[in-house]
Structure 1
Amino acid sequence: MAETLRGFIIYLLLSVVAISCSTSSEPAPGPFSGPNPWPEIRHERIETLLPEAMERAGTEAWAVLCRSNNNDPLARHVGCENAVAPAVFLFQLQDGELFSIVFTPPGEAEALRDIALHDSIAVVSRSPGALVEAADYINRRVRGNLALNYSETNELADGLSYSQYTRFTDMLMQTVKNRIVSSEELVYEWLSVKTPAEVEILRKAAELTSKWQYEVYDMVVPGETTDRDVAGFLETKMAEAGVTDAWSPDQNPNVNSGPDRGHAHPTDKVISPGDVIQIDFGIRVYDTWVSDIQRFAYVLAPGETEAPEEIQRYWSTARDGNRMVLEVMQPGITGIEADRVQRDWMDENGSMNVMWNTGHPVGYVAHDIGPSLGGAQQGRDPHPTAFRELRAGNVFAYDGFYMWEIEGGTKTISVEEMVVITDNGAEYLTEPQNELILIRSD
């Protein structure tokens, strides 16, 4: 009971500090307090990037079936996030020109005209309905491959339910059915590249994510502060700034001052001298783009002025591995080649095998679409995207690793930074962590 009360008091104190640090009589507007730029960016992405993606994927047409309550995960990307009755959003590429038509009941037609995202709005009666009208159009007008949202390897391209698929394809002629393909390649080509405007938003999100982690480390009191207290501080910062979680709120932030817990929730473990603390934290801004950054600290024992030699070596090795991967990331290299640089460096320096990939795309979700920076680790088959080449506009969260044994399990330093691939290589989105943060305990 006393431990619970003490933890609650510390949480309140950290929350008060967070509020006092970020508020005044007139709170300054945050970096994400202005109008949401998503409508304009979405229009640009459809107009400039989708035609190229369809050409690369060898697709003439792409049909996205939308509905209420259990909508397609790509609904916001194509403009059907507000669908109520079933609707079909069809994109057709002819002679390099993209044309979009929406088959929708009257209830949503005016709203779709207002957003002016699509070339044509075909208003259909609820009976026989939008699916019937769209199928009839496709039967008459589409002669090439038709992409639908089903996939075994890409969750965001797998939004079509079995019942939707069977009902819709039953309306198509056999010659059209023969040309149905998964949209996974089209969606990969389209969403894996971010526009310059999106990169700038992700840059600001990364900067804020890192800044708050440094702030909370300044508040830690060894022997009193718990992992959950640290998480509470960061949750308060998010609420004040009007941003939300980059992934499941139960596991964001993941604060871990003991043995490795993987992707897990913070606990009531008290942070103690000798602990290496990991914070894995991300925010969602404008309800669209997410960050993913990790920062590490060591709690000095009484009388210590620096981390023990071994801890410093583990940190330096992980940091240097991160920098070595940065040097090889450039357009044309594959994800598995980047991961192999990390694995060779870990082997050379005596790290235990780390099961996680070196990195992953990040943008619309924490584990986004794009090349996987993995596949070279032991005991895990490469994901197909590990063999894909990096391209300018890809954004990654990626780690430098070192794992060793401690009492109760293992501990992993995973120096996670965010980068964007440019024509000339890779560029950090925020100042990387160069030194292990030291927390005094006396």
Structure 2
Amino acid sequence: MKYIQLLAILFLTLNLACNNSKSEKNQNSPAEKEIAADITWGENPWPEIRKKRINELLPKALDAAEVDAWLVICRENNNDPIADHIGGENAGGTAAFLFYNDENGFHSLVFSPSGESKALDDLDIHDSVVSVDRNASAMELAADFIRKKDLKKIAVNSSESNSMADGLSYTQRQELESYLGNLKNRLVPSTEVVYEWLAIKLPEEVEILKKAAALTAEWQIEAYQKVVPGESTDADIARFLKKKMAENGVTDGWAPDQNPNVNSGPDRGHSHATDKVIMPGDVIQIDFGIKVHDRWVSDIQRFAYVLKEGEMEAPENIKHYWESAKAGNRAALAAMKPGTKGVDVDRAQRVLMEEAGSEYVMWSTGHPVGYVAHDVGPNLGGSQASHVRPAAEKELKEGMTFAFDGFHAWKLPNGELKTISVEEMAVVTENGAEYLIEPQEELVLIKA
């Protein structure tokens, strides 16, 4: 009897193991996805990069913004958008992060609730973490310190133009001003501090963006190789790219419903991929971005032409549109250098667009990219607008990263507009700008 029971137990154990093995092969558990991500990307470098950004780039940002200090108030659930850039993402109670320059250099001081102060101190991000008792106020202690140091100009996160610098709520502002008393007039918007700090990327970050851009472009080319004219749809391409993301442990560069944007028909702007069937004669656009380490984002476009019956290459008009757009992209890159304004980069390619007979394109030539697809930094646009946005009047600086287009637009037989927007990524260097990866030189040709 015991022998039969042992055999039964053994059978059940083997059967369970077999089923578990099949289950593991048929689906990726969250743990397996994390392992896949680690294999692809290695350990997340953000903790060290964040520390380096605070110590090396933030002092310069304070100087450039002409402020003595920057005060950020963090809290639980409805936190400041800048919180995870300064180590405040785990705030439970209210915490006050103060960054300032004085005659002895740069300092970072945090007044943190006692429940999380030790964990924050262990991260070794800040010079000093002061533990705040439950019956005390971190904001009040920060205000007392400001008064004691006699800091003259204190930036706080209230901004009309930069959402990343607008995290201080109305009630938080009221409370802070009550503690500061007659010093409340020393508070100024942190718009320029956040702009100067986030717009510059460290060399280590640029290397990460290069890898992300390379995969983004590579997968788009793979997707084009799967297209069967007359059968494949724009949505099929999108699904292929979504699968590549899942297999490689990366996420969407922007809103998942619109990433990737695949369009083989007339312009749709920022959009989702539809079930339109890809046909001979179509010009296909893929606008695609991935996020790696849940931090850095790519934004790359690749274009293809579907050959008609008997065609061995794209017709002359399509070649002209492509070469014109590509020339605009190259002109924009040549204009990107330290000291150049964003509006001037836009103007560099608009001249070529007019010469090539392009229809008007409402989009800016480019935008900063890094932590989000449309990041903080100079806007590369405005040269043909009725008014120039303030961000387009900003000068480019070494270490800024951009995604930018070369445009050519034409009218389809039905009167609708079609645009080729050759979008690449680049970093501004000491003497100019460099592509992060090799740019697309030729249209991808898809056989009928």
d(CA) in 1 for partners of 2:295, 2:193? 20
Match of 1:436 in 2: 443
1:167 matches 2:197: no
Does the aligned pair in 2 maintain the 1:353–1:377 contact within 8 Å? no
Instruction: Kindly state the Cα deviation for residue 88 of structure 1 after the two structures are TM-superposed.
Output: 0.9
Match of 2:251 in 1: 244
Amino acid at match of 1:167: E
Amino acid at match of 2:256: P
Match of 2:335 in 1: 328
Amino acid at match of 1:40: E
Give the alignment of 1:142-157 within 5 angstroms: 142-157=150-165
Match of 2:20 in 1: none
Match of 2:45 in 1: 37
Amino acid at match of 1:396: F
Amino acid at match of 2:236: D
Instruction: Kindly state the Cα deviation for residue 432 of structure 1 after the two structures are TM-superposed.
Output: 0.3
d(CA) in 1 for partners of 2:127, 2:151? 20
Does the aligned pair in 1 maintain the 2:72–2:157 contact within 8 Å? yes
* Residue ranges of structure 2 left out of the alignment (5+ in a row): 1-27, 29-34
Does the aligned pair in 2 maintain the 1:326–1:426 contact within 8 Å? yes
The one of 114, 121, 133 equivalent to 2:129 is 121
Give the alignment of 1:413-428 within 5 angstroms: 413-428=420-435
**Greater Rg, structure 1 or structure 2?**
2
Give the alignment of 1:81-160 within 5 angstroms: 81-95=89-103, 97-160=105-168
Instruction: Kindly state the Cα deviation for residue 301 of structure 1 after the two structures are TM-superposed.
Output: 1.3
d(CA) in 1 for partners of 2:272, 2:167? 28
Give the alignment of 1:163-202 within 5 angstroms: 163-174=171-182, 176-202=183-209
1:299 matches 2:297: no
1:231 matches 2:238: yes
1:67 matches 2:71: no
1:388 matches 2:388: no
Match of 1:80 in 2: 88
Match of 1:339 in 2: 346
Match of 1:57 in 2: 65
Match of 1:219 in 2: 226
d(CA) in 1 for partners of 2:40, 2:223? 20
Listed one character per residue, the Cα deviations across residues 144-180 of structure 1 (whole Å, up to 9, x for unaligned) are 1000011111111111122222222222122x21111
Amino acid at match of 1:393: G
Give the alignment of 1:366-385 within 5 angstroms: 366-379=373-386, 381-385=387-391
Instruction: Kindly state the Cα deviation for residue 27 of structure 1 after the two structures are TM-superposed.
Output: 7.5
Does the aligned pair in 2 maintain the 1:101–1:121 contact within 8 Å? yes
Does the aligned pair in 2 maintain the 1:359–1:399 contact within 8 Å? yes
Listed one character per residue, the Cα deviations across residues 266-319 of structure 1 (whole Å, up to 9, x for unaligned) are 111111111111111111111111110000011111211111211111011000
Amino acid at match of 1:170: S
Amino acid at match of 2:79: N
TM-score by structure 2 length? 0.90
Distance 1:55 1:155, change over 3 A: same
What secondary structure sits across from 2:442 in the alignment?
Answer: coil
Equivalenced residue count is 415
Amino acid at match of 1:222: P
Amino acid at match of 2:68: E
Amino acid at match of 2:119: A
d(CA) in 2 for partners of 1:28, 1:132? 43
Does the aligned pair in 1 maintain the 2:36–2:248 contact within 8 Å? no
Listed one character per residue, the Cα deviations across residues 106-137 of structure 1 (whole Å, up to 9, x for unaligned) are 11112101111111111112323222222222
Amino acid at match of 2:396: L
Instruction: Kindly state the Cα deviation for residue 256 of structure 1 after the two structures are TM-superposed.
Output: 0.9
Does the aligned pair in 1 maintain the 2:37–2:250 contact within 8 Å? no
Match of 2:406 in 1: 400
Does the aligned pair in 2 maintain the 1:245–1:252 contact within 8 Å? yes
The one of 280, 293, 297 equivalent to 1:290 is 297
What secondary structure sits across from 1:284 in the alignment?
Answer: strand
d(CA) in 1 for partners of 2:268, 2:175? 44
Does the aligned pair in 1 maintain the 2:234–2:277 contact within 8 Å? yes
Quick one: percent identity of the two aligned structures? 58
Instruction: Kindly state the Cα deviation for residue 258 of structure 1 after the two structures are TM-superposed.
Output: 0.9
Give the alignment of 1:2-13 within 5 angstroms: none
Match of 2:272 in 1: 265
Does the aligned pair in 2 maintain the 1:357–1:377 contact within 8 Å? no
d(CA) in 2 for partners of 1:30, 1:359? 33
Bigger drift between 267-276 and 204-213 goes to 267-276
Distance 1:234 1:193, change over 3 A: same
Instruction: Kindly state the Cα deviation for residue 95 of structure 1 after the two structures are TM-superposed.
Output: 2.1
Does the aligned pair in 2 maintain the 1:109–1:121 contact within 8 Å? yes
What secondary structure sits across from 2:271 in the alignment?
Answer: coil
Distance 1:415 1:368, change over 3 A: same
Listed one character per residue, the Cα deviations across residues 14-54 of structure 1 (whole Å, up to 9, x for unaligned) are xxxxx9xxxxxx9797541x111111111111111111110
